[in-house]
Amino acid sequence: MIVTEKKDLNRIQALLKDRNNIIIVGCSECAAACQTGGSAQVKEMAEHLTGKNILATISIEAPCDKRIATRDMRRIQEELENAEALVALTCGSGVQALSEVTGKPVIAALDTSFLGMVERLGKFYERCSHCGDCMLNDTAELCPVTLCPKGIRNGPCEGIEGTLCEVFPDKECVWHRIYETLKERGQGDLYLRYHDATDWGKSHLPREVIWEKK
Amino acid sequence: MQTLYYIPALNTTEHIASMLSDIGPEKEILFGEYGAMLPLAAPAAGAMNGGKRFIEIILSNKNRDLAAASLVSAAQLGFDGVVIASGVFGKNEGMGKPVYDLDPSQALMLATTLRKQKTLPETFTIGIRTPTGSGAAHERARFFIENGADFLAVPEGASIPEFEDKTVIIKEYKR
């Protein structure tokens, strides 16, 4: 899930200074789970934007998916034609998809933080850095690229304090956890499997996946 | 076990000269990267006379190209060897994006490859700061030795019993 956090409302209001006719768009997937862009937050935003003419509010299932955004925005076609700007309570991909789909200026009301694992509402943890070179099959499903502050692919580093992380002394070093878990599973040989430096030649931004036609 | 006298931070050439004078001429010295000056500047302060001279290459905030250039430059400037370290992770307000392009194992592979290719002299010694105190750390020490490290560098008070003959104590010089 894409974890988002709310931007300061004063910044949103400043960005809308010369725009009166507004549509507010929420995301009923990730941003809703983060309670940053669900229908309650869309309503809250509408209440905060006093003095603005809110033409419509809409929650889209996945505004980052241009197909869904196109389909759902058709439902408010008339309001869209009159809108001077959209306020998007979505991740950065959602903002850009809405801009491309509508051709309207879109104000990003959220900051996009990370790809998160949800423990329960209000507890989101980064577990994947989308490095493009996944080593989870060798590391007991614990990603050191993300869980080690240094992102070390062959650890631990010399800073380990007993079994604790040098950077976050209240946390276990992920390489200690990897070692212990692999040993328990009888897969200790995986621990010293060498992982080469990441080949960034394959990961230039912006990344794309395009299926080839068969 | 041997001892390397460690000067973590170099700030001015006068500062280096005065510390060297305090430590004594025949000691083996490791120059660190935590001061205003890069340890590659140590030769400019007349630091190369006396015992062996090592340079610490910390990998934080270096990409692989800079790490390789640092290794080659150290050898060209007359250092006897290197101690590879991941480096202390800083958490400061307004800091730049941390870079850990290579980890110590990957840097060890880089250094040993450069030595095999004779880009580094055959006599250039490759040491590596080594974790201690857990099974995971011990296995990593084994990896370093099996993959060409000449010595394992540990702080005072730490030890790696299985590789005692390959262990070098880093004694931090404090004034």
A15 touches chain B (CB under 8 A): no
List CB contacts (< 8 A) between A176 and chain B: 134, 136
* pLDDT category of residue A43 using cuts at 50, 70 and 90: very high
List CB contacts (< 8 A) between A151 and chain B: 100
ipTM summary value: 0.94
Question: Which one of B91, B103, B143 has the shortest CB-CB distance to A152?
Answer: B103
CB contact under 8 A, B86 and A157: yes
Average pLDDT over residues A41-65: 97
Q: Which residue of A has its CA nearest to B85?
A: A158
* pLDDT category of residue B16 using cuts at 50, 70 and 90: confident
CB contact under 8 A, A159 and B103: no
The whole-angstrom separation of Cα B153 and Cα B169 is: 6
Question: Which one of B89, B105, B137 has the shortest CB-CB distance to A154?
Answer: B105
- Check if the beta carbon of residue A179 is closer than 8 Å to that of residue A214: no
pLDDT per position as a tens digit, B72-83: 999 999 999 999
Predicted local confidence at residue B45, as pLDDT: 84
* pLDDT category of residue A51 using cuts at 50, 70 and 90: very high
Q: Is the pLDDT of residue B174 over 80?
A: no
Instruction: Give the single-character DSSP code of B97.
Output: P
CB contact under 8 A, A163 and B64: no
* Residue A107: how many other CB atoms lie within 10 Å: 20
Predicted local confidence at residue A118, as pLDDT: 95
B57 burial type by CB count under 10 A (0-12 exposed, 13-18 middle, 19+ buried): buried
Predicted local confidence at residue B93, as pLDDT: 86
Distance (Å) from the alpha carbon of A167 to chain B's nearest alpha carbon: 7
Interface test with A, best of B84, B89, B109 (most A CBs within 10 A): B89
* pLDDT category of residue B17 using cuts at 50, 70 and 90: confident
Distance (Å) from the alpha carbon of A196 to chain B's nearest alpha carbon: 6
pLDDT per position as a tens digit, B97-142: 899 999 999 999 999 999 999 999 999 999 999 999 999 999 999 9
A37 touches chain B (CB under 8 A): no
Average pLDDT over residues A73-86: 98
pLDDT per position as a tens digit, B23-49: 988 899 999 999 999 999 999 888 898
What does the mean pLDDT of chain A come to? 96
Interface test with B, best of A158, A164, A176, A187 (most B CBs within 10 A): A158
The whole-angstrom separation of Cα B63 and Cα B138 is: 27
Q: Between A and B, how many CB-CB pairs are < 8 A?
A: 91
Tokens 């070390």 locate to A152
Q: What percent of chain A has pLDDT over 70?
A: 100
pLDDT per position as a tens digit, A100-126: 999 999 999 999 999 999 999 899 999
Predicted local confidence at residue A204, as pLDDT: 87
A145 touches chain B (CB under 8 A): no
Q: What is the DSSP string of chain A?
A: -EEEEEPPHHHHHHHTTT--EEEEEEETTHHHHTTSSSHHHHHHHHHHSTTSEEEEEEEES-TTSHHHHHHHHGGGHHHHHH-SEEEEES-HHHHHHHHHHH-S-EEE-EEEEEEEEEEETTEEEE-----SS--GGGTTT--HHHHSTT--SS---TT-BTTB-SSSTTSB-HHHHHHHHHHHTT-GGGTT---PPP-GGG-PSSP---PPP-
Q: Is the peptide bond before A156 cis (omega within 30 degrees of 0)?
A: yes
Q: Which residue of B has its CA nearest to A156?
A: B137
Q: Which residue of B has its CA nearest to A200?
A: B101
Predicted local confidence at residue B1, as pLDDT: 60
Distance (Å) from the alpha carbon of A156 to chain B's nearest alpha carbon: 6
* pLDDT category of residue A95 using cuts at 50, 70 and 90: very high
pLDDT per position as a tens digit, A190-213: 999 999 999 988 888 999 999 988
Q: Is the pLDDT of residue A75 over 90?
A: yes
Helix (H), strand (E) at residue B138 = helix B135-146
Helix (H), strand (E) at residue B151 = strand B151-155
Q: Is the pLDDT of residue B151 over 90?
A: yes
Q: What percent of chain B has pLDDT over 70?
A: 99
Predicted local confidence at residue B91, as pLDDT: 84
* pLDDT category of residue B152 using cuts at 50, 70 and 90: very high
Nearest to B39 by CA among B58, B28, B55: B55
The whole-angstrom separation of Cα B79 and Cα A164 is: 34
